[in-house]
Amino acid sequence: MAAPRTVLLTGAAGGLGTLMRDLLPAYGYELRLLDLTPVADAPDAIAADLGDLDAVRAAVRGVDAVIHLAGISLEAPFDDILRANITGTYHLYEAARQEGVPRVVFASSNHAIGFTPRPGGGEPLIPAGTPHRPDTFYGLSKCFGEDLAQLYWDKHGLETVSVRIGSCFPEPTSVRMLSIWMSPADCARLFHAALTASGVGHTVVYGSSANTRLPWDLASARALGYDPQDDSEPYAAKLLAEHGELDPDNPEHAHLGGHFCTNPPMWPR
């Protein structure tokens, strides 16, 4: 595969999309932007809903790859998740298949495996092959996205790197985030590796910096050429002084997904 140059960034108006709009052009990408809502300072951004297959097909036409960030990024009523994350991601893949786009980088989430017990000291890191254990309808939609990516690889030869992102924000803001934080600069490094590595088929990787408190194994990400440069540890003293260490007997702390596992218990109908 030739190195991608023109890349569709869905969800460009969101938090992560905004960070990536700043960082990815330095790697030589020309970004085409898409979002439901207006993208600040980007009058050429495509305003489209993932629910509109024709619009999504027009948006992917001619790009070399897609970074698919658009969707609902927290727990929500099932019907909303269904429309944006499940049907929407299906439309993205179907559009990419119809238009011959060879690769997608899919923003999956730690919440696809949120009910996985958080490893204690000395226990093995969570491998990329660990079974899906979603903690929410939101996490379930990310399981669907990963399986959809596998189907489109096996059946249509469309490649994907599914990135189970931990928490990508400018700084970690909780003790839980110390373990799964991904600095924006490392996120851009990882997306660049996912766009350019050869022969990825469908590869699942964890998306985080090289944190001292890492719960998962970054081996599959490193195999793509990802070389994280950041660690959340410089933020640890302040956060621990404020909140203390995670209590493994607290159900909120016992699993990787944290409060997504316990709150809300189930979205009210």
Which residues have a catalytic role annotated? Answer: 138
Binding ligand NAI (rule: CB under 6 A), the pick from 109, 183, 203, 209 is: 109
Token digits of residue 9: 């960034």
Q: Among 234, 104, 118, 96, which residue's Cα sits nearest to residue 163?
A: 104
Per CB under 6 A, the segment of 63-71, 97-105, 127-135, 218-226 that binds ligand NAI is 63-71
> How many chain residues touch ligand NAI (CB under 6 A)?
24
Which 3 state secondary structure label does DSSP give 35? strand
Question: 117-156 mask for ligand 15L (x: CB under 6 A)?
Answer: ----------------------------------------
Token digits of residue 2: 């030739």
> Residue 172 binds which one of ligand NAI, ligand 15L, none, with CB within 5 to 8 A depending on kind?
none
Share of the chain residues as helix, strand and coil, in percent rounded to the nearest 5:
40, 15, 45
> Residue 20 binds which one of ligand NAI, ligand 15L, none, with CB within 5 to 8 A depending on kind?
none
Binding ligand 15L (rule: CB under 6 A), the pick from 89, 141, 167, 208 is: 167
Is the Cβ of residue 228 or residue 257 nearer to ligand 15L in the bound state?
A: 257
Q: Among 38, 58, 61, 49, which residue's Cα sits nearest to residue 87?
A: 49
Bond prior to 251 in cis (omega within 30° of 0): no
CA neighbours closer than 13 Å in the CB half-sphere of residue 24: 29
Question: 13-42 mask for ligand NAI (x: CB under 6 A)?
Answer: xxxxx-----------------xxx-----
Establish if 213 lies at the interface with ligand 15L (CB under 6 A).
no
Establish if 86 lies at the interface with ligand NAI (CB under 6 A).
no
Question: Computed over its alpha carbons, how large is the radius of gyration of the chain?
Answer: 18
175 in Cβ contact with 245 (< 8 Å): yes
